[in-house]
Amino acid sequence: MDRDAERSLERLLPRLRARYEPRDLTAWATFGVRLAAHFDRLFGLLRRLYGGQYDFFYHLERVLESAAESWLERSPELKALDARREADPHWFQSQRMLGGVCYLDRFAGDLAGLRARLQYLTELGLTYLHLMPVFRAPAGENDGGYAVSSYREVDPRLGSMAQLADLAADLRQHGISLVLDFVINHTSDEHTWASRALAGDPDYQDYYWMFSDRQMPDAYEKNLREVFPDEHPGSFTFRPEIARWVWTTFHTFQWDLNYRNPEVFRRMAEEMLFLANQGVEVLRLDAVAFIWKELGTSCEGLPEAHLVVQAWNALARIAAPSLLFKSEAIVHPDEVVKYVHPDEAQLSYNPLLMALLWETLATREVRLLADSMRSRFRLPQDCAWVNYVRSHDDIGWTFSDEDAAALGIRGFDHRRFLNDFYFGRFPGSFARGLPFQENPKTGDARVSGTAASLAGLEKALHEEAPEAVELAVRRILLLYGVVLGIGGLPLIYLGDELGTLNDYGYGANHAEAGDSRWVHRARFDWKRAEWRNHPSTLEGRIYGGLHRLVEARTNCPTFAGGAMEVVDIGNSHVFAYVRQDAGARILALHNMTEHEQLIAPNELRLHGLGYTWRDLVADETVALDPRTGEANVGLTLAPYQMRWLLCA
Ligand code: GLC
Ligand code: GLC
C-alpha cells in the first residue's frame, strides 16, 4: 500500500472500528478485509479528486462511514450474492446472458403489473432486465424519468421502493438481474437538494453549477456542444427565484451536479449503495461523459469523470461487491472504451456496433463495420459489451471520422446520407424514421424510430407488399443475430421481438410533444404478444426467429466471452467473423443485402475449415459436395440470410 494511504487508514481505522464493530462483529470483520484490499485505490482516487480541499480527511472519513453503514445494512441474501459473484467474476460473460430493457409503465403499467409478466420475460430467456427510470420525477416533463427527484423513492404511480426491492429478489429467483439507471450527471429541479438551493441555501447551491451573471456561462459555452438545442440554446438556464444561471446540459429542469464538491461525490455514493442494497445488480451510468467540467474544454469525457466512477467502483468493491456498472457514453469510439475497465465500468453500451449495423443496412457495404469492429471490438478481460440494435434514445452516427476517411468516406457527408436514408427521404429507402434535434447551425441531426420501422416493416405493411415485409423481418432478425452472436451481452428493446412500429401518437401528450424519441417508445402491445407462438403471424415470425437464435446461442458455449475475429470473406456485402474456443469454431456469415451473395470456395476452406458445417441458425447440416462440383461454386446466402456455421 502507498505509504500515505497506509498512514491514513491507520488513523481512520480505530474510529471506524469503535463505531461499527460493536454493532455487528462479523460484518465489521468482512468490511475490514475488503477495506484493506481496496483502500489504497480508493484513497489514491479521492486524493487526486479532492486532495486539495482543506477538509479532505473529513470527507474521506465520511465516505468510509457511509460505506460501513451500507455494508452493515446489506441483507444476508445480498451478501451471499456478493460471495457468489466474487467466486464467479465472469458470470455476465456467459452465453446464457440475455438482456431486456423497457419503460416499466409502458411495458407492464407498474411494479405489480411487471410481476404478473415475469413468465413472459423468462420465456424470452432474459437474465438481465433494465427498467428505465422508476424514480420519483416531476409530474410533467421529466425526460422519460431521467430527471430524478429522489433516488430513494419510486414514482408513486409505479409502486414503492419496498416493492422494487421485492421485485429484485423475485427476479433473482428467476435468474434475472435487475438493472436500474443511476442518473449521475443531474437531478431534477424538484430534488430536495435543488429545492434547498432554490430556497437560497448556499451549501446546496454548491451541489450544482450556478452563476449570478453570464460571464462564466459564456466562457464555458465557447467549448460546449448543445445536446438538446431544440429545447434550449446553450447549456445554462436562468432561474429568477435565485437570479442565477444554472448549468443544464440536457433539459432546463435537469440540473448538472457539481462533482468538484466532495459532498456531492459522497451523497451520490450513498444513493448508489442504497440502490445496491435494494437488490439492484447493475447500475447504468447515465450520461457519464458529462459529469466533470473544466473551463476551456468540451466538458465531456474529462479525466476526472473517470476518476469519479473509479472511486465509486472501489467503494462498491468494499460495500456491495456484486454491483456492476454499465457506462452510457454515446460518444466517439475512442472515448467509449475509456470507461470500460474492471476498475471502472465492467459493462458498456456498444453504440458503434449499433450505429454501424444501421449504416451497413443503408449502404449494403460492410467495410466500415468490419474495419471498425476489427480494430475496436476488443475489451479488457473481465469486461463486456452490451450489444444492442436500438435503445430508447436517438441513433447518432458515432463512428470515427478517421476510420471512415481511411476508406475514402467523408464523415459529414456520410452522416447526412444516413440521416436522409433513415428519415425516409433518400430515394429507395425502406426506413421510416424521424429527425431528432436537427441543428441547422451545425447540420447535425440524429434519428428516432423503432427497429422495425427503421428496418422497413412500417413502409412494407403500409404498402401491403408481402415481399417487402419478408425482407424487413429478415433485417430485424439479422441485426439481432449480429448482436446475439458477436460477443458480449445482447440487449433487446422489449417490443422489438414483436416488430413494434413507430407510435406517432406522442404529439398529443404535451410532455412528449417536442421530443421525437417518444415515437419509438411505444406502449407494449400485449394483444400482439399473444400471437408470438403462432408461426404464421408477423409477430410469430419475428418472435419465433429471435427465439431460435437465442436458443442456439444459449446451447453453444463458444458464444460466451468476447473473443471475436472479424474476417474478410471476399464479399463486401457479407459481414463475417469467427468465434473460437477450445471446443469449437464458428464462422458467422451475414448477408447485409436484399440480393443473394456468394462466398467463394477458397474463403470457405480458409475460414470455415472445409465444406461441411452445422448451421446453428437453420439447424441444418450444410455440405458442399466436391464430387458434384458444388464446392467449386461456393456457398450462397439468400437475401439477408445469416448463418452460424459450426466448423467440423
Ligand atoms: C441519457 C438517457 C437519455 C436522457 C439523457 C439525460 O443519455 O439515455 O434518455 O435524455 O441521458 O439524462
Ligand atoms: C445522451 C443522450 C442522447 C444524446 C446524446 C448526445 O447520450 O442519451 O439522446 O443523443 O447524449 O450525445
How many whole angstroms separate alpha carbon 101 and alpha carbon 282? Answer: 13
CA dihedral 301, 305, 311, 312 (to 10 degrees): -90
- Report the 3 state secondary structure along 576-604: EEEEECCCCEEEEEEECCCCCEEECHHHH
Low-confidence ranges of the chain (pLDDT < 70): none
- Report the 3 state secondary structure along 104-165: HHHHHCCHHHHHHCHHHHHHHCCCEEEECCCEECCCCCCHHHCCCCEEEEECCCCCCHHHHH
Pocket of ligand 2 (CB under 6 A): 227, 287, 330, 393-394, 396, 446
- Nearest-CA residue for atom 1 of ligand 2: 287
Q: Which atom of ligand 1 is nearest to the CA of 183?
A: 12
Q: Which atom of ligand 2 is nearest to the CA of 330?
A: 7
Distance from chain centroid for Cα 51: 32
Closest by Cα among 306, 303, 277 to 184: 306
Pocket of ligand 1 (CB under 6 A): 143-144, 146, 183, 250, 286-287, 328, 392-393
Q: Which atom of ligand 1 is nearest to the CA of 186?
A: 12
User: Measured between alpha carbons, how far apart are the two ends of the chain, in Å?
Assistant: 51
How many whole angstroms separate alpha carbon 359 and alpha carbon 482? Answer: 14
268 burial via Cβ count (<10 Å: 0-12, 13-18, 19+): buried
- CA of 143, nearest ligand number: 1
- Nearest-CA residue for atom 2 of ligand 1: 286
287 Cα–ligand 1 center, Å:
6
How many whole angstroms separate alpha carbon 533 and alpha carbon 510? Answer: 37
How many whole angstroms separate alpha carbon 75 and alpha carbon 223? Answer: 46
What are residue 182's DSSP bridge partners? 285
Residue 418 grid cell: 444516413
**Is 328 in the active site?**
yes
DSSP classification of residue 557: G
pLDDT on residue 536: 96
- Nearest-CA residue for atom 12 of ligand 1: 146
Q: Hey, how many other C-beta atoms are within 10 angstroms of the C-beta on 303?
A: 10
Phi-psi region for residue 39, left (φ > 0), alpha (ψ -120 to 50) or beta?
A: alpha
146 Cα–ligand 1 center, Å:
6
Pairing assessment for the beta strands 635-637 and 574-580 based on DSSP bridges:
unpaired
- Nearest-CA residue for atom 6 of ligand 2: 227
pLDDT on residue 546: 98
pLDDT in tens, 276-333: 999 999 999 999 999 999 999 999 999 999 999 999 999 999 999 999 999 999 999 9
Read off the pTM. 0.96
pLDDT in tens, 46-81: 999 999 999 999 999 999 999 999 999 999 999 999
List the catalytic residue out of 286, 444, 539, 603: 286
Closest by Cα among 379, 535, 553 to 482: 553
3-state class of 541 per DSSP?
helix
Q: Which atom of ligand 2 is nearest to the CA of 331?
A: 12
List the catalytic residue out of 226, 256, 271, 328: 328
pLDDT on residue 508: 84
- Nearest-CA residue for atom 3 of ligand 2: 393
